[in-house]
Amino acid sequence: MSFLAADIGGTYTRLLLAEPSATGWRVLREQRFVGADYPGLEAIVQLFLGAERPSVACIAVAGPVSEQRVCMTNLPWQLDARQLAAHFGIAQVRLLNDFAAQAYGLDSLPASDLCTLQVGQPEAGGVRALLGAGTGLGMALLVRCAEHWQVLPSQGGLADFAPVDEQQLALCAALQQAYGRASQELLLSGHGLERIHGFLGGRGVLPGSGPDAREISQAAEQGEPLACASLALFARIFAACAGNLALLGLAQGGVYLSGGIAPKMLTFLQQPEVLQAFSDKPPMRELLQRMPLHVVLNEQLGLHGAATLAAQLCRAQEGGL
């Protein structure tokens, strides 16, 4: 019995064909596609699977899932689990939010896949919060229910940005003027880094007038002052946003920063100002200082979580036979 796991982000679609094993699963084949190059997921899955027909598919999607349907946030795709199951002859297809999938993958992450920014005093079985910046900004909470973990998906990345000083107030005002509102995702994403860089450089917050996120990061590695200032501000805003989520979920089991951006800016996330931005929320400062804060180094956490759930569904099918 084999399964298909997929992680569909705003930029890349990652597919994994595997079969359950005693330790989790055994990889048969894995491939990455640029989503925008294809008219829809069906074309990618057909190309990847060929004649193979797995028993289960678990697909993590960037967008809110309702009744096993989703209109993606960063791609013009509409997915329906029943239609996908019928089209490919797969017995069970499960759609879930991409950050819900990442949350499912947290429990089996090895310590080597984490960089701890704040050790804290974690509570066994305490709520865990996940926050990730990439093409967009994703969030999820992980709650212990009896013997299992239950994931609570979220679209909190689109909540309002909360500035904490005069510089951030000016940044917020610039976003409001340009976009009508200032959401967290406008800043905490790849284009968000470009907006911060443009704001600090006096060009405004509309992307396209300056270097892209990759070029900004490369310039920061060379010590270029404006690029370094941009990443430092990004890191403080990211940490403050994580602290807000930690309070919202009372995440005494730990807070995890994931996505494609965080592992590439560890030098900036490891600065004292970042932990200060995370916890500087009186009268809850001491509570936040007790919450562990980690960076997830494994950028395929969503695919890992989708595979974890798919393997469970395969075992459930086998048990029902």
Asked whether residue 91 falls in the same domain as residue 217, the answer is no
- Check: CB of residue 274 under 8 Å from CB of residue 266: no
Count: domains in the chain: 2
Asked whether residue 42 falls in the same domain as residue 117, the answer is no
- Check: CB of residue 44 under 8 Å from CB of residue 80: no
Quickly count: other Cβ atoms within 10 Å of residue 257's Cβ: 27
> What CATH number is given to the structural domain containing 181?
3.40.367.20
Asked whether residue 139 falls in the same domain as residue 55, the answer is no
Domain range spanning residue 31? 3-104+301-320
- Write the pLDDT tens digit of every residue in 177-204: 999 999 999 999 889 999 999 999 999 9
Asked whether residue 220 falls in the same domain as residue 233, the answer is yes
Asked whether residue 82 falls in the same domain as residue 135, the answer is no
Asked whether residue 226 falls in the same domain as residue 116, the answer is yes
Asked whether residue 82 falls in the same domain as residue 218, the answer is no
Asked whether residue 80 falls in the same domain as residue 175, the answer is no
Query: What does the pLDDT read at residue 321?
Result: 46
> What CATH number is given to the structural domain containing 90?
3.30.420.40
Give mean pLDDT, residues 20-35.
Answer: 90
- Write the pLDDT tens digit of every residue in 229-272: 999 999 999 999 999 999 999 999 999 999 889 999 999 999 99
- Write the pLDDT tens digit of every residue in 75-103: 889 999 999 999 999 999 999 988 888 88
Percent of the chain whose predicted confidence (pLDDT) is above 90: 72
Asked whether residue 151 falls in the same domain as residue 234, the answer is yes
Asked whether residue 230 falls in the same domain as residue 96, the answer is no
